[in-house]
Structure 1
Amino acid sequence: MLTFKIKRFNELSLQELYKLLQLRSEVFVVEQNCVYQDVDGKDEKALHVLGFFEDELVAYTRLFDKGYYFEEASIGRVVVSEKVRAKKFGHELMKVSIATVEQEFKTSEITISAQEYLKKFYETHQFEQTSEMYLEDDIPHIQMKRK
């Protein structure tokens, strides 16, 4: 089971910031072999969900209020370290992220830009595909919404 911390950007310790950027880079840049600008200037506006297993950061999302990233609230940079994926922590991470959006942003409407191969995963969390496939950093994505 994961232990979660939910923090605004200015509440993150330097160590937490370093670890979350390291995890995102480990998965999105190295594992997925995708060169892109992860540090995109949006982290300061996000609410950060950090999931720890045995005191190690292994899961993460960033959340945005409605009107910032999409018209609805959004969840992005959904990432779970490869070394713990077999534990299915992604489902825990999404449940906490959705609950945090509902609590902090007072909405249940959430839009995500999902990697297409994860469509079924997001559908288990009541997201529905709302766009055709598009390329984002040369990776097939779809927009999905939860109401």
Structure 2
Amino acid sequence: MTHFVHSAPLVELDPATLHGILKLRVDVFVVEQNCPYPEIDGRDAEASTVHYWCADPDGSPIATARLLVDELPDGTTQMRIGRVCTRHELRGTGLTRAILDAVVTEIGERPSVLDAQKHLESMYGRWGYVADGPEFLEDGIPHVPMRRVGRPHDPVS
């Protein structure tokens, strides 16, 4: 099944889509995973942040991710993937793959990072991400920092 992936910075999102993206993230990360934390962290509104989503036939977001630009202490930048999630009942249908294909295509040859929940480490490996540091707990969930060295996008099936 082919899934159409939308992308836009915050200023181009209509209110209903923004609400749907934020509701989906809260439903998954705060409610489902029982992690009370400040989901709306200020990074969504950064001019360089791009939101990605797939929608159901009514236009409601059912899978999402965001692509950030991190400013590093040495004055350089790196791309960061975050807030990747899919509605619970739609996992395993290719939505996450479609979103990550679009995000990694946008990243292109630039290096990028993400913090994966430990049980998803091998999934991110399909796009060339490898563990890049020790496992850590975030809101009680084991995570692993991952890095993808700059190279053309060629996901492994």
TM-score (norm 1): 0.89
Q: d(CA) in 1 for partners of 2:54 and 2:123?
A: 18
2:53 to 50, 54, 57: 50
How far the C-alpha of 1:83 sits from its partner, in A, is: 1.6
How far the C-alpha of 1:12 sits from its partner, in A, is: 0.8
Q: For residue 42 of structure 2, what is the amino acid of its counterpart?
A: G
Do the aligned residues in 1 keep the contact of 2:71 with 2:78 (CA within 8 Å)?
yes
Backbone CA RMSD of aligned residues = 1.6
Q: d(CA) in 2 for partners of 1:81 and 1:92?
A: 14
Match of 1:15 in 2: 16
Identity percentage over the alignment? 27
How far the C-alpha of 1:138 sits from its partner, in A, is: 1.7
How far the C-alpha of 1:61 sits from its partner, in A, is: 0.6
Q: For structure 2, list consecutive stretches of 5 or more residues without a partner in the other structure.
A: 150-157
Name the structure where helix makes up a greater proportion of residues: 1
How far the C-alpha of 1:101 sits from its partner, in A, is: 2.5
Q: For residue 75 of structure 1, what is the amino acid of its counterpart?
A: I
Match of 1:99 in 2: 105
Please identify, of 9-18 and 107-116, the stretch whose mean Cα deviation from structure 2 is larger.
Answer: 107-116
Equivalent pairs counted in the alignment come to: 142
Q: Does 1:112 align with 2:114?
A: yes
TM-score (norm 2): 0.84
1:139 to 119, 138, 141: 141
Q: d(CA) in 2 for partners of 1:95 and 1:115?
A: 19
**3-state SS of the aligned residue for 2:91?**
helix
How far the C-alpha of 1:71 sits from its partner, in A, is: 4.6
1:88 to 84, 90, 94: 94
